[in-house]
Amino acid sequence: MGLFTFWKNKKKRPPKRPVSQLWEQLRQSSDFVEVSFRVGGKELSIYYFDSLVDPQLLQERILCHLQNDIPKHPDVRLEDLQQIVPIQRIEVSEDTALIEEKVLKGFVAVTFREQPNKAALMSAPADNLGLRENNDSENEFSVVGPKVGFIENIGVNLHLLRRQIAIPNLVFREMAIGSVSKTKVVVAYIDGVANPEVVQTVTQRLETIHFDVVFDNAILDQLLADNSRTPFPLFISTERIDRAVYALISGQVAVLCDGSPYAVIGPAALFDFFTSPEDYYLPWVLGSFFRLIRFFGVAFSVLASPVYVAVLTYHYEMIPEDLLGPIIYSRSNVPFPPVLEVLFLEITIELLREAGARLPTKVAQTLGIVGGIVIGQATVDAGLTSTILLIVVALAALASFTTPIFKMSNTIRFIRFPFILFAAGWGGVGIAFAVCWLLIHLGRLQSFGYPYLVPFYPLRFPHLNDTFIRSPYSQAAERPQFLRPRSRFRFDPKEAKQKRDIDE
Amino acid sequence: MKQPIPDRFLISPFFVFFVVHAIQIGVGALSFQRPLMKAVGQDAWMVVLLAGLAAHLFIWLMYRLLSRAPFGGDIVSLHQHYLGRWFGGLLSVGVMCYYLLAALTVLQSYIEIIKVWVFPLMGTWQFSLIFLALTYYAVLGGFRVVAGLCVWGVVIPLATIFPMLFFPLEYAQYRNLLPVFDHSFGQLVSASKEMTLQYLGFEMLLMYYPFVKNAPSSQKWAHAANGFTTFIYLVIILISIVFYNQEQIQHLTWPTLTLAKIPEVPFIERMEYIVISIYVLVVFPIITLSVWAATRVVKQLFAVQQRRSLPVLLVILFIGTLLLQEKADIERIGQWTAKLGLYLVAVYVPLLCISVWVVEKVKKTLQQKP
């Protein structure tokens, strides 16, 4: 059995087989349970997976009622079980494939002797077994605001979304993806706000996905992407409820998947990745200020070490006299050219980060201190790097972590390296080349067919009020128009903008 | 009948502002003061205004011409429609050569600046190769990506380089502007020829006109762009006049770059390195758009895919930069481009405009007679 056998299976569907054959196949596993008993002259069989079914539900809702109530109704048929068993949506089916799918998702199949090819499917899954109950959204932390995050159970996630969007227009469209995992994937959008074209693109792309196991939404994220050869994330993935709700009300579409505490949101623009929900919880002046700091952080993180390389390799005339002293002093013992020096330190920091992420939390802290302080100090003492560079690289690493979305901060750390190489090759002109290359690349990217650089290119003036600065709510009534939402305003702009005269 | 270009490849009329402006301001903005002030001294700013007005006129004429163009909307289809397949095709090839020459001029002049100011020992081929590789990547993205580059090529330099120009005013001698009207009108007009290369760039409209949504309405943006270009040149020339004396400026090839040496910031010196670096963003859109226009001509004329013709044109440009490295050569190419461009916008387009007008008139009367 190869990894890609699902391709072949897909092409030639096995011919329709009887239900008994399915039971035969499932009996191979030890956790498959088959119970047959007689009640009131009826021969019943119950089939389920012990590992998937909640035993309490099974006993109290199914077995109990079957045993007590069937004797009262001697000619009950499978189709009538809904009247006896207090479980929602009992399905009766002859379709072996459907029975198989349901039993494998934690349903209990009940059959009667008289109707051997039919089964009543009752849902009794142990939904939360083995999953965590809550998520403090630690990976996208904010000091102010709710700390509830999505969890691995999609039912709970949908519940959390619906709690905040209490309008009938919120639509969940469900589908199963993955030839092996049959993962439940839900497309969420607000009907009448989200552009139907986007919804269609998303559903269409999801439907054409061929994959075996959907481990996480991140896999869907990659399979949905317009361009797979870019380091930039094309969709926001968030574990915060507020961010997902905000995206839905601005007309974006969210994709949730069972077993993943992340929602994938698109179409996303580059600037969406630098906004944090906290911007909206703080007063707009402060929110804007911190957002600007974040943008500065990104620019600094990408450009700091390349500029160091460029200036110290080619343009030392640019260093003013007063600054020249400290730089000469700190670099006089360093035997390497600036590029090697920078690459050495950058890679050290990447190593620290990677090791810190892979180790258990407690060890990681120690490692951070040992790596950061001891190695840093030692390299400077040994004359491998200059102190000034140590500051530059550490600050750049720090700045790259200000990005609220983890995927984007990874990207920023990655694109620094081509910049350093360009700077080493052609100095300041090289950095400009790299910037050009970045701009072209960003200009070519699309997210669900929408340009990535919006609202800068194509320029949308009204939407600029929520990019570099976060404008006050009275100015933010309009939804971002680049998403072509069906309805234009989030709330009535006139009431929000009403101004009172002095002393009135 | 050709298909109209799908909506998603078009740009909105407003972006014509950025595209026209980005292509107009180029390497010339660094060096135009010397020849201009040699000819008319402190009255150079009038020449800038005069040439700007002339450019307005030519833009107006060009829009008159293009609004008459049949279905394709660009100069190639215009040629084919009015001048026939062979003669029109020949002229279209001429236009394509002009676009390539324009790209070559800009590329060469910029590489020369890099070599003189920053990297005297590095080979031309390195920079040319990087530029052309980036051009390849950008043009593959289509016209929208190229137009996007033009936006960045306007916004970023405007935010970074432009403010630097005002630092030298600290040492300004405003009396340098006097006496005003020291030169005759004839002198001013003949000097305005020196400004040709600086104002050229709107002739790319001949190719990308059909890529503008609701194209005729973009005319005001094209004029606004030209007005803005005039304003920027005016600022540069005024600052140069008050900062330099006329003797001094004759010894400077790139007076604008020398202006950029003046700003002083505590943590950085020699700002001209920054200016030269950021100038990549000014130069690059010009090269990309010219190459894009050339590939577009090839596509319209010979039905060759742009994807195919692009590498060929880039190789031609690369060889061109390798062969013509001497300063004299670069100057000569610049003069050719200026001359050709001037003939294109000031002689050829008006002539074509008139002939199209006449042809339409004749057709109309012929139709009415029977």
Give the CATH number for residue B344.
Answer: 1.20.1740.10
Give the integer Cα–Cα distance in Å for A107 and A497: 54
- Nearest by CB to A444, which of B119, B134, B145? B145
Task: Assess B167–A contact: CB distance below 8 Å, yes or no.
Answer: no
The winner for highest mean pLDDT among A37-41, A115-119, A371-375, B309-313 is B309-313
Mark whether A236 and A305 lie in a shared domain.
Answer: no
Q: How many CB atoms lie within 10 A of CB B244?
A: 23
**Who has greater pLDDT, B264 or A16?**
B264
Give the integer Cα–Cα distance in Å for A169 and A192: 7
**How confident is residue A474, by pLDDT bands cut at 50, 70 and 90?**
confident
Q: Which of B331, B289, B279, B333 shows the shortest CA–CA distance to B27?
A: B279
* Residue B126 distance to chain A (closest CA, Å): 9
Task: Assess B159–A contact: CB distance below 8 Å, yes or no.
Answer: no
Overall average pLDDT of the A434-461 stretch: 88
pLDDT of residue B1: 38
Q: What is the pLDDT of residues A46-55, one digit of tens each?
A: 999 988 888 8
pLDDT of residue A7: 52
Instruction: Return the biggest CA–CA distance within chain B.
Output: 82
**How confident is residue A477, by pLDDT bands cut at 50, 70 and 90?**
confident
Q: Which amino acid is at A343?
A: L
Residue B80 CB-density burial (10 A; 0-12 exposed, 13-18 middle, 19+ buried) = buried
Domain annotation covers residue A467: no
**How confident is residue B370, by pLDDT bands cut at 50, 70 and 90?**
low
Q: What is the pLDDT of residues B129-150, one digit of tens each?
A: 999 999 999 999 999 999 999 9
Domain annotation covers residue A135: no
* Residue A465 distance to chain B (closest CA, Å): 18
Mark whether A439 and A295 lie in a shared domain.
Answer: yes
Domain annotation covers residue A500: no
Residues A307/A431, Cβ–Cβ less than 8 Å = yes
pLDDT of residue B72: 62
Give the integer Cα–Cα distance in Å for B160 and B165: 10
Mark whether A247 and A291 lie in a shared domain.
Answer: no
Domain annotation covers residue B255: yes
Domain annotation covers residue B4: no
Mark whether A267 and A351 lie in a shared domain.
Answer: no
Mark whether A254 and A357 lie in a shared domain.
Answer: no
CB contact under 8 A, B273 and A315: yes
Domain annotation covers residue B214: yes
Mean pLDDT score of chain B: 90
Mean pLDDT score of chain A: 86
Mark whether A288 and A258 lie in a shared domain.
Answer: no
Task: Assess B168–A contact: CB distance below 8 Å, yes or no.
Answer: no
pLDDT of residue B3: 63
Task: Assess B152–A contact: CB distance below 8 Å, yes or no.
Answer: yes
Residues A265/A253, Cβ–Cβ less than 8 Å = yes
The residue segments making up the domain with residue A96 are 19-123
CB contact under 8 A, B141 and A439: no
What is the domain count for chain A?
3
Domain annotation covers residue A483: no
- Nearest by CB to A318, which of B11, B273, B280? B273
CB contact under 8 A, B114 and A314: no
Which tokens in the block code for residue A355? 């090791």
Domain annotation covers residue B280: yes
Overall average pLDDT of the B250-256 stretch: 91
Q: Which residue of B has its CA nearest to A429?
A: B277
Mark whether A262 and A359 lie in a shared domain.
Answer: no
What is the domain count for chain B?
1
A279, A313, A328 - which closes a domain = A279
* Residue B268 distance to chain A (closest CA, Å): 5
Report chain B residues whose CB lies below 8 A from the CB of A458.
11-12, 15
CB contact under 8 A, A429 and B277: yes
Residue A3 has pLDDT above 60, yes or no: no
Domain annotation covers residue B203: yes
CB contact under 8 A, A443 and B137: no
Count of CB contacts below 8 A, A vs B? 89
A242, A263, A279 - which closes a domain = A279
The residue segments making up the domain with residue B26 are 13-368
Mark whether A104 and A239 lie in a shared domain.
Answer: no
Range scoring the smallest mean pLDDT among A18-27, A276-285, A465-474, B284-293: A465-474
Sequence-distant (6+) residues with CB within 8 A of A434 are A306, A418, A419, A422, A423
Chain A residues with at least one Cβ partner in B under 8 Å:
314-315, 317-320, 322-323, 426-429, 431-433, 435-437, 439-441, 443-444, 453, 456-459
Domain annotation covers residue B7: no
Sequence-distant (6+) residues with CB within 8 A of B77 are B2, B69, B70, B71, B300
Domain annotation covers residue A487: no
Mark whether A233 and A325 lie in a shared domain.
Answer: no
**How confident is residue B336, by pLDDT bands cut at 50, 70 and 90?**
very high
- Nearest by CB to A320, which of B145, B268, B279? B268
pLDDT of residue A1: 43
Mark whether A352 and A228 lie in a shared domain.
Answer: no
Mark whether A437 and A328 lie in a shared domain.
Answer: yes
Task: Assess B305–A contact: CB distance below 8 Å, yes or no.
Answer: no
- Nearest by CB to B280, which of A429, A440, A441? A429
CB contact under 8 A, B277 and A443: no
Q: Which residue of A has its CA nearest to B284?
A: A436
- Nearest by CB to B130, which of A433, A444, A456? A433
A255, A279, A303 - which closes a domain = A279
Would you say the pTM of this structure is higher than 0.80? yes
Domain annotation covers residue A295: yes
pLDDT of residue A4: 52
CB contact under 8 A, B137 and A437: yes
pLDDT of residue B359: 87
Q: How many CB atoms lie within 10 A of CB B158?
A: 15
* Residue B266 distance to chain A (closest CA, Å): 7
Give the integer Cα–Cα distance in Å for B158 and B152: 9
**How confident is residue A130, by pLDDT bands cut at 50, 70 and 90?**
confident
Mark whether A434 and A301 lie in a shared domain.
Answer: yes
Domain annotation covers residue B350: yes
Q: What is the pLDDT of residues B65-94, one digit of tens each?
A: 888 776 667 888 888 888 888 898 999 999
Residue B325 has pLDDT above 90, yes or no: no
Q: What percent of chain A has pLDDT over 90?
A: 30
